[in-house]
Amino acid sequence: MKPLRIGMISFAHGHAYAYFHALRRIPGIEISGIADPEFARVQALADDYGIPYYADYASLLALGLDAVVICSENALHAEHTMAAARSGAHVLCEKPLGITPEQMEAMILVCREQGVQLMTAFPCRYLPAVREAKRMIEHGEIGEIVAIKGTNRGTCPGGWFVRPELSGGGALLDHTVHVMDLMHWMTGAQVERVYAYAANLFQPGLQVDDAGMLHVHFDSGVVGVIDTSWSRQAPFPTWGDVTLEITGTNGSIYVDAFAQKNDVYSRADMQGRWDYWGDDMDAHMVQAFIEAIRDGRPVPVTGEDGQRAALVALSGYRSLEAGRAIPLIES
């Protein structure tokens, strides 16, 4: 079998390292190169695994790759995705898909015109607890969904994440999209109205929000709320969480997405920590992307899925400005 030639554009987002190692474990994959303007971010990978390095992503794309994985700063997703599509490469793009409705619409359109697939990186769909909840809902085990409460609380990531010209927003954008995608996926419904609160509460002096609550009303009548805050401080055992409380007419489901862990307490650390032993959601997601390309099947998490989730977050900022609930902004 001819190997699939994969390139990676930027390691600005830390998820890139997990995706890199996931790709390495898949038979028949050749990581043909890494492009990143900051060599220090990728030097160890290039040296340890003999991966060609390119300072300019255009030089990487000139190799004629089968696919690329994009983990650049949010504001660059559109530029990198459209360039990759025009080179003939399928794209796995880190979330959020883009930082404006116009960017995301252009990304989807160019990929469609070039005949390549665009997948949004939503690995939480591949967590066992999430998939079991999806199965239970599809089999009607809790009846009709009436409400969902979610969390994606994390630690402030710093760096370019708190520079609005690169990130496009703070915690409300960063941490809405994962759980919002799960809500769309679980309900099969679309958000029609959004009300949001966002502020700077935990890290004084940030240019972006680090606290947020997002309330949504779906066209099916389901209501939802997400805590998107970067509220995990240094003493907390880990960087964050993903949880869902799904209430139905005949029952409810509580999902703790990262519960495959041990709680470890030691004098060396002088605090508790989570020792995660569970399934590798990133590996499952990357595998699904590769299999779709190999088999000529649609990717399981589309650019439109990423667009829908990001539009809810962007509508949240519009709601904050208006001081009231607003209709979902159009793409």
pTM: 0.96
Give the least confident one: 23-37, 106-120, 128-142, 251-265.
Answer: 251-265
Q: Could you tell me the CATH superfamily of domain 125-279+311-327?
A: Dihydrodipicolinate Reductase; domain 2 (3.30.360.10)
pLDDT band at 237 (very low <50, low <70, confident <90, very high): confident
Q: Is the pLDDT of residue 275 over 90?
A: no
Residues 23 and 71: their CA atoms lie apart, in Å, by 14
What's the pLDDT at 17? 97
What's the pLDDT at 168? 98
Which CATH number is 4-116's, of 3.40.718.10, 3.40.50.20, 3.40.50.300, 3.40.50.720?
3.40.50.720
pLDDT band at 234 (very low <50, low <70, confident <90, very high): confident
What's the pLDDT at 198? 96
Query: Across residues 288-298, what is the average pLDDT?
Result: 97
Give the least confident one: 137-141, 255-259, 273-277.
Answer: 273-277
- How do residues 296-322 score in pLDDT, each as one tens digit? 999 999 999 999 999 999 999 999 999
Q: Residue 179: what residue type?
A: V
Q: Is the pLDDT of residue 135 over 90?
A: yes
Average pLDDT, the chain: 96
Give span(s): CATH 3.40.50.720, the chain.
4-116
Q: Cβ neighbours of residue 193 under 8 Å, at least 6 residues apart?
A: 216, 217, 325, 326, 327, 328
Give span(s): CATH 3.30.360.10, the chain.
125-279+311-327
Q: Is the pLDDT of residue 37 over 80?
A: yes
pLDDT band at 269 (very low <50, low <70, confident <90, very high): confident
Considering the chain, what percentage of its residues have pLDDT values greater than 90?
89
- How do residues 92-124 score in pLDDT, each as one tens digit? 999 999 999 999 999 999 999 999 999 999 999
Q: Is the pLDDT of residue 331 over 80?
A: no
